[in-house]
Structure 1
Amino acid sequence: MVTSSEHRPSTVGELRESGHIQRTVKEEIRENLLAALRDGRDPWPGIVGFEETVEPQLERALIAGHDVVLLGERGQGKTRLLRTLNLLLDEWTPVIAGSELGEHPYEPITPASIRRAQELGDSLPVAWRHRSERYSEKLATPDTSVADLVGDVDPVKVAEGRSLGDPETIHFGLVPRAHRGIVAINELPDLAERIQVSLLNVMEERDIQVRGYTLRLPLDVLMVASANPEDYTNRGRIITPLKDRFGAEIRTHYPTRLDDEVAVILQEAHLTAEVPEYLLEILARFTRLLRESTSVDQRSGVSARFAVAGAETVSAAAVHRGAVLGEADPVARPVDLETVVDVLRGKVEFESGEEGREIEVLEHLLRRATADTVRTRLGGIDLAELVDAVEQGDPVVTGERITAKALLNELPELEVLDELAERLGAESDGERAAAAEFALEGLYLARRISKNPDINGQTVYS
C-alpha cells in the first residue's frame, strides 16, 4: 500500500476505507521481489559478485516463502546480503499504535491489543512503521539466553500486582518483537544448542512458549541466518532439527572475477588519498593468490576485508608521506604496498607448518600479484628506453621519504614515460610518479634492472 505522508489513515476504520489489504511478511517480500524483477530493478543494491550464483538462489527461496541460512567463510558478504532484505518490504506498514509487538490493526495477537481492539472498534488508533524498523539482527554469542530471543517473566510487572499466571507479565524477546518483520541471526552455530531448541517452534509452528505459559502467538516473521560451513567450524553446530526447518541453505563465495574483487574494494574502502586502480588490482590479485596458496589455511578463508584494509593502508601511507613531505595532493605509489605486509599479516591464518615464514610467503605472493598486474596493464609497451636510462644514468631512488616531484626529477624526459602516463591515465605529478614507479617495479620483477635498499632505508633502482 502506498500512501502519501500527509494522508495515511490514523484509525482502523479509515484503514479499511482506504482499501488496505493485509499481507504476511513473506507475501509482502515475494510480491515486491517479483515486481522488482519484472521492472528490471536490482533487488540487491551494493552486492557484488553474486549476480549469477547466490542471488538467483536467494530469490527462488524468497518466492517460495522459505526461511534461509547463508553458509560461507568469513568476509563473503553474508551479513551485507541479509541487511538488504528489508528493502523488499513495503516502505511503510500500519501497526496498532502503542502495541508492544507492532501488530497489524486487522489482527491483534497479544491480550492487551485484543482487548483494545474490542473496546475501541473502528476507532483503534493506527501508527505507521518504516521498513528499517522491521529488520532485527542478533549476533549469536555464547551468552545469549532464551530470554534474549523469546522472552521471560518480567519481575517489574509482577511487582505491580499482576499474578504470575497473567500472560501480560511476559517481557518479550527479540523474535516476537520482530513480529511482521525479518529476524537475522549472525553466526548461528555459536548459539548454544539448548538455545537453538527455543527457536524450533518459531520456525515451524510460528508461536512461542515462555516458562510454561499457555500463550500462543501466531508470529509472522521471516527467519534468516548466517553460518560458517559446518565441516570446519569448531565453535559449534546447527542442531539437526533447526537445520531441517530452514527451507533453503545457500552457499556464498568470494568474488570469482578479478573486476568484482576490485569493485568490492572500491565500494567498501574509505580512501583518504588517491589510489590508482592498478594498485587496487594488485591488492585484488594478492588476495586471490592468498586464497589459492597451500601455505594459507583455506578452511578459515581470506576475507574480502583483507583487500579493503589493504587499500586503506596504502592510502594512509600516501597521506602520511604527504604530511611529512608537504605534498598537497598525495597519490599512492607501489612503494606503499610494502606497508600492507607488515600491517595485515595478522588477518591471514597460515598452516601450522608455515610458522616463521609468514612474511616470506606474503612478500612472495605480493611480488607475483604485482608482476601479473604489470603484464596485464603494460603489455605492448616497449620499456627498453627506460631500462637504458636507468643503466646509463644515476640510480632512481624512491621510498616513503621521496616526493613525487623528486622521483620524476631523477628520470630524464622519455617518450616511454609519456606513453606510460597515457596508458595508465596519469596526469598529475603524483600520478605520473606512481606510473613510473609501477614500470620500474615491473622491470625489477622481470629481472631487467636491480632493486636494493640504501643506507637510509629507501629503495634504489639501478
Structure 2
Amino acid sequence: MALTVLFAGGHLLIEDAPGVGKTMLARSLARALDCTVRRVQFTADLLPSDLTGVSIFNPQEHAFEFKPGGVFANIVIADEINRASPKTQSAMLEAMEERRVSVDGVTHELPRPFMVVATQNPFEMQGTFPLPEAQLDRFTACISMGYPARAAELTMLDHHVAADPLAALQPLATGADVLRAMAQVREVYLHPSLKAYLVDLVERTRSDARLVLGASPRAGLQWARAAKARAAMAGRGYVIPEDISALAVPVLTHRLILANQRNDRVSTADVVSDIVAGVPTPRRA
C-alpha cells in the first residue's frame, strides 16, 4: 500500500498501537529510495515555522535568507502527527496539497517527488489533538499495521535484537525513477464504466444514513490515481474493478464520520464494505 500511494503521488497515514512498526515502515520506505528524507517528531511545542521554514536576516548580506523547514524533503516522516497543535497541523495543508509553502509572502516549491508518511496512535488521547477533516482528506490512504503473526514475531527476536534491521537495506530507486513511475501511472487507462463505478461508490457514502460526512470529490480523484497505481504495479496498463474495490477501505475510512460515534458495533470500515457490496461491479471492458 505504501508504494501504491507513493506512485499515485499521494500521502500515507499509518494508524495503530505503539510498537507495531509504524515508524519502521516509514523509515524502510525512505531508506529504499535514494531521496532526501526528513523525520519530524511532532510535539505540542512544535511550531508551524519548524515545518515550513523561516526567513532570517543576514547582517553581512543585509538581506533576509530563507531557512527551509522540516517539509523540504522528498519523503517527510511525520511521527505522531496528532501530538502537534492544530495550528501546526494546519501548516501541513498547503504543503500536502500544493507541494509548496508560503513564508512571508514568498512561495517556495517543495522537492519532487514529495510524500508525507504520517503516524499516529489512536488509543492514546492524552496530549493529542485529533487531525482536522481537511488534513485527513489530504491523505490518500490510511492503514493499520496490526500485530504480527507468531512466526514473524519470533523472527523479529532472532534478527532485530542484536542489529539494526534497516542497516542492510539498500536504495532500490532514485527520485527520478519514482517520477518516471508516476508518469507511467498517469497513463494507465480507466474505462468510463469504471469511472462511473467509482463515482457511484463515492456518492453512496454521502447518502448513507450511518454517516454524517461522506467522501469528498478529492477522495474520488485520489482513489482513481491509487487504482491506476495498483494496476501499474500489477503490470497492467488498464484498471480493473478489483483495483477500485480493493482500495475502498484504506482510501475512504479515515475521511468518513459516523452519525452515531458511540455505536462501537459499526465502524467506517464496515460502512465502506457494505457500500462496496451493494454497488454492482461493472463488467470488464
Q: Name the TM-score class by shorter chain.
A: 0.5 to 0.7
RMSD of aligned C-alpha atoms? 2.0
Equivalent residues in 2 for 1:405-444 (5 A)? Answer: none
Q: Which whole-Å CA distance do the structure 2 matches of 1:140 and 1:194 have between them?
A: 12
Q: In the TM superposition, what is the alpha-carbon distance from 1:86 to its structure 2 partner?
A: 2.5
Runs of 4+ in 1 over 6 A off after TM superposition: none
Q: Is the 8 A contact 2:44 2:83 kept in 1?
A: yes
Shift in Å, 1:187: 0.3
Deviations 1:400-421, CA, capped at 9 Å, x for gaps:
xxxxxxxxxxxxxxxxxxxxxx
1:162 corresponds to 2:62: yes
Amino acid at match of 1:261: E
Q: Pick closer, same or farther for the CA change 1:58–1:216 going to 2, 3 Å.
A: closer
CA contact (8 A) 2:48 2:88 kept: yes
Q: Which residue of 2 aligns with 1:197?
A: 90
Q: 5+ residue gaps in structure 2?
A: 164-285
Which has the larger helix fraction? 1
2:144 equivalent in structure 1? 251
Q: Distance in 1 between matches of 2:150 and 2:80?
A: 28
Residue pair 1:137, 1:183 contacting (<8 A) in 2 also: yes
2:220 corresponds to which residue? none
Change in CA separation of 1:59 and 1:216 when aligned onto 2, cut-off 3 Å: closer
- TM-score computed with the length of structure 1 as normaliser: 0.33
Aligned to 1:269: 161
Tell me, yes or no, if the aligned pair for 1:71 and 1:227 is still in contact at 8 Å. Answer: yes
Confirm or deny that 1:62 pairs with 2:6. Answer: yes
Q: Is the 1:58–1:250 Cα contact (8 Å) retained in structure 2?
A: no
Structure 1 pair 254/62, CA: closer, same or farther in 2 (3 Å)?
A: same
User: Distance between the aligned counterparts of 1:60 and 1:222, measured in 2?
Assistant: 12
- Aligned length, in residue pairs: 161
Cα gap change, 1:258 to 1:233, in 2 (>3 Å): same
8 A Cα contact 1:152 1:210, kept in partner = yes
Instruction: Specify the alignment match of 2:107 in structure 1.
Output: 215
Question: Superposed, which structure 2 residues align to 1:30-179 within 5 Å?
Answer: 57-90=1-34, 131=35, 134-155=36-57, 157=58, 159-163=59-63, 169-176=65-72, 178=73
Residue segments in structure 1 that go unaligned for 5+ positions in a row: 1-56, 91-130, 272-462
Higher RCO (C-alpha 8 Å, min separation 6)? 2
**Rg comparison, structure with higher value:** 1
Tell me if structure 1 keeps the 8 A contact 2:6–2:115. Answer: no
Following superposition, the deviation at residue 62 of structure 1 comes to: 2.6
More strand as a share of residues: 2
Q: CA deviation at 1:61?
A: 2.2
1:238 and 2:138 matched = no
* Contact map agreement 1:76 1:253 (CA 8 A) in 2: yes
Aligned-partner Cα distance in 1 for 2:161–2:81: 27
Go from structure 1 to structure 2 and tell me whether the alpha carbon gap of 1:216 and 1:58 turns closer, same or farther (over 3 Å shift): closer
- Aligned residues: percent identity? 26
1:239-263 residue CA offsets vs partner (Å, 9 max, x unmatched):
22111111111111111x2111211
Match of 2:178 in 1: none
